[in-house]
Structure 1
């Protein structure tokens, strides 16, 4: 499903895609548009209505258009810089509206590429410019554990052993819900303690510190690719 910032959200409009049921407050407030929905028996149906499908088919005089193409077209438009600028005020006040672009097919293909990149964020290529403290053994327990990352220029101090370097400036231009994807990882994957309950939140306990390190490197690379794809999307007509 596509999840975007909803009416009343104080952040600039943004969208992401998910292939599982997400937490209600993942983006709050939000609007969500599924590709499919299911009945009580588990039968799957297209969430894009027959009316909408026929509207697209009639407009483009193409009966081969399917619901999935419309879904990815919408995802592309939601990232189009021209669309976001022109309708900035409207997107903050009401549900988004989508025009029928002459570049429908091209935008649908690019939207699918962008969505697949985002859905597979845990398996994508990693940013490879990393400095290691060679005085320590990478195999030692806790080598990849994170406490709190710090960012300075094109570098992120991951922990006392590891520094991620030569991060392209444009990587920080990929923004979701008011903050770069990289900054979300830096902020959320740190050891914190609730003031009232004193319960500690330790991201190293989830899948080990190496998972956090690799996730950050993947998100850096994903961000660069996202910016490049969004540039291609923004070269197309959105209405």
Structure 2
């Protein structure tokens, strides 16, 4: 059985008088995004009056990372609001959703993945001069190169010509947002950009988090790897979200 975020026969997607999972027009101030109708539906289906709106919100976040759900509705998600199933194991998705929310919301304070930082080919934990950790002017961070065939080596992350992070695990590339891993987003967003109208250079080294302590950029990149790996592992641990899913054992 599937609960729809909007009824499938709803003629006007802007008609907020119909029952929905989330409040599409919340009032100002703090409040619940999960509707009372949604809470009643979940409690009735799972026969559990202790389920809360926070539980449902965490469950939804978990389900939306489920591989079988994302595959089934990959085309629908491009044009409709998501369809949410009553997964066989509510608690598994609630726990996973809680963990994923903690990872993604607290990305600035999660633990650092233990990557080796090399500066001038020597292990370094912040003892070098500040420029060793800064993004070079008008250059982007990049992946390393395989020494044998010069192909891209994604186990190595080049911050600049002097500084690199090594031993990045393959799992760090499995979790993507809009087709890019967190490290790929870092390459694209943390770079020098020239604003043509004003001719002002936007220097990523001036970001508050590492302007005064450049090694914080290394810590930030390590945290991105931690988030990526832990997200990938959590997603792999999820049971099927759809009753008729056929999924190979992990």
Q: In which range does the TM-score fall when normalised by the shorter chain?
A: 0.7 to 0.9
Normalised to the residue count of structure 1, the TM-score between the two structures is 0.77
Residue pair 1:203, 1:212 contacting (<8 A) in 2 also: no
1:224 aligns with 2:225: no
**Structure 1 residue 114: Cα displacement:** 1.0
- Relative to its length, the structure with more helix (as a share) is 1
Gaps of 5+ in 1: 1-32
Aligned length: 203
Does 152-161 or 77-86 show the bigger shift?
Answer: 152-161
1:158 aligns with 2:159: yes
- Per-residue CA deviation, residues 131-158 of structure 1 (Å, 9 max, x unaligned), is 2225998353433211221113110111
> 1:4 matched to which residue of 2?
none
Gaps of 5+ in 2: 1-21, 145-152, 244-250
Helix, strand or coil: the match of 2:225?
Answer: helix
Which residue of 124, 129, 133 maps to 1:140? Answer: 129
Normalised to the residue count of structure 2, the TM-score between the two structures is 0.74
**Structure 1 residue 228: Cα displacement:** 0.4
Which residue of 123, 130, 148 maps to 2:117? Answer: 130
**Structure 1 residue 238: Cα displacement:** 3.6
Residue pair 1:126, 1:217 contacting (<8 A) in 2 also: yes
Aligned equivalents of 1:199, 1:138: Cα separation in 2 = 32
Alignment root-mean-square deviation, CA: 2.4
> 1:205 matched to which residue of 2?
206
> 2:61 matched to which residue of 1?
75
Aligned equivalents of 1:72, 1:81: Cα separation in 2 = 17
Structural mapping, 1:21-170, within 5 Å: 39=28, 42=29, 44-127=30-113, 128-133=115-120, 134=122, 138-147=127-136, 148-152=140-144, 153=153, 154-170=155-171
Residue pair 2:182, 2:224 contacting (<8 A) in 1 also: yes
**Structure 1 residue 204: Cα displacement:** 1.0
> 2:196 matched to which residue of 1?
195
